[in-house]
Structure 1
Amino acid sequence: RGHRLRREIIARVVANDLVNRGGPSFVNRLQEATGRTAADVVRTFAVVRDGFALPALYREIDALDNQIDGQVQLDLYQMVSRLIYMSSGWYLKNDAGTASLGQRIAELQDARKALEPKLVSLLPVFSRERIEEKRHGLFKAGAPEKLAEQLAMSEAAELIPDIALTARTAGAGIVAAAKAFFAVSDAFRIPRVEDAARSITPSDYYDQLALSRATDTIGAARRGIAVAALTGHAEAADPVAAWLEAG
Structure 2
Amino acid sequence: TDAVAALCLRNNYLQTLALSVAEYRGLAEFPDHLSLIDALERRGLLNRAVESLPDDKALRERAAAGRGLTRPELAVILAYAKLTLFTDLMATKVTDDPYLSKELYRYFPERLDETFPDAVSSHRLRREVIATVLSNAMINRGGPAFVNELQTATSADAGQIAAAYAAARDSYGLQDLNARLDTLDGNISGQTQLVLYAEIEQLLTRQTLWFLRNANFESGLQPLIERYAEGIAAIRDHLPALIPPFHADLLARRAAAFESSGVPRDIARRIAELSALSLGADIVLVADRSGVEVLEAAAALFGVLETFRLGRIIDAGSRIVLADRFDRMALDRALANLMRAQRDLTADVLAAGSGDIASRLATWRTAHPEAIDRVTAAVQGLTEGDMTVSRLSVAAGLLADLAKSA
Task: Note whether the superposition's TM-score is higher than 0.5.
Answer: yes
Give the one of 130, 135, 148 matched to 2:250: 130
Confirm whether residue 243 of structure 1 aligns to residue 364 of structure 2: yes
Cα deviation, residue 235, structure 1: 3.7
Residue in structure 1 matched with residue 220 of structure 2 by the alignment? 100
Name the CA distance, whole Å, in 1 between partners of 2:191 and 2:148. Answer: 27
Residue in structure 2 matched with residue 87 of structure 1 by the alignment? 207
Q: State the AA in 2 paired with 1:180.
A: A
Q: Which runs of 4+ in 1 moved over 6 A?
A: none
More moved, 133-142 vs 52-61: 52-61
Unaligned runs of 5+ in 1: none
- In the TM superposition, what whole-angstrom CA distance separates every residue of 1:206-245 from its partner, at most 9, and x where no partner exists? 2112211211111111100110111232346522221121
Residue in structure 2 matched with residue 184 of structure 1 by the alignment? 304
Name the CA distance, whole Å, in 1 between partners of 2:297 and 2:319. Answer: 28
Alignment of 1:197-216 (within 5 A): 197-216=317-336
Are the structure 2 counterparts of residues 3 and 118 from structure 1 closer, same or farther at C-alpha, using a change threshold of 3 Å? same
Alignment of 1:40-79 (within 5 A): 40-79=160-199
Asked if structure 1 preserves the Cα contact closer than 8 Å seen for 2:304 and 2:345, the reply is: yes
Residue in structure 1 matched with residue 293 of structure 2 by the alignment? 173
- In the TM superposition, what whole-angstrom CA distance separates every residue of 1:94-132 from its partner, at most 9, and x where no partner exists? 113223111121112111232211112101100010000
Q: State the AA in 2 paired with 1:122.
A: L
Asked if structure 1 preserves the Cα contact closer than 8 Å seen for 2:203 and 2:278, the reply is: yes
Normalising by structure 1, what TM-score? 0.95
Q: State the AA in 1 paired with 2:226.
A: A
RMSD of Structure 2 on Structure 1 (CA): 1.3
Name the CA distance, whole Å, in 2 between partners of 1:164 and 1:141. Answer: 34
Are the structure 2 counterparts of residues 180 and 137 from structure 1 closer, same or farther at C-alpha, using a change threshold of 3 Å? same
Asked if structure 2 preserves the Cα contact closer than 8 Å seen for 1:27 and 1:38, the reply is: yes
Are the structure 2 counterparts of residues 62 and 243 from structure 1 closer, same or farther at C-alpha, using a change threshold of 3 Å? same
Q: State the AA in 2 paired with 1:242.
A: T
- In the TM superposition, what whole-angstrom CA distance separates every residue of 1:135-177 from its partner, at most 9, and x where no partner exists? 0111110111111110001111111111000101111111110
- In the TM superposition, what whole-angstrom CA distance separates every residue of 1:24-52 from its partner, at most 9, and x where no partner exists? 11011111112222211111111112222
Normalising by structure 2, what TM-score? 0.59
Name the CA distance, whole Å, in 1 between partners of 2:320 and 2:298. Answer: 27
Give the one of 117, 126, 131 matched to 1:6: 126
Name the CA distance, whole Å, in 2 between partners of 1:91 and 1:55. Answer: 17
Residue in structure 1 matched with residue 154 of structure 2 by the alignment? 34
Cα deviation, residue 65, structure 1: 1.4
Cα deviation, residue 246, structure 1: 0.4
More moved, 223-232 vs 201-210: 201-210
Name the CA distance, whole Å, in 2 between partners of 1:27 and 1:237. Answer: 39
Larger Rg: 2
Residue in structure 1 matched with residue 348 of structure 2 by the alignment? 228
Name the CA distance, whole Å, in 2 between partners of 1:27 and 1:201. Answer: 21
Unaligned runs of 5+ in 2: 1-120, 369-406
Q: State the AA in 1 paired with 2:354.
A: A
More moved, 129-138 vs 196-205: 196-205
Asked if structure 2 preserves the Cα contact closer than 8 Å seen for 1:236 and 1:242, the reply is: no
Are the structure 2 counterparts of residues 143 and 242 from structure 1 closer, same or farther at C-alpha, using a change threshold of 3 Å? same
Q: State the AA in 1 paired with 2:336.
A: D
Name the CA distance, whole Å, in 2 between partners of 1:237 and 1:41. Answer: 36
Are the structure 2 counterparts of residues 202 and 60 from structure 1 closer, same or farther at C-alpha, using a change threshold of 3 Å? same
Cα deviation, residue 6, structure 1: 2.0
Confirm whether residue 159 of structure 1 aligns to residue 279 of structure 2: yes
User: May I ask how many residue pairs the two structures share in their alignment?
Assistant: 247
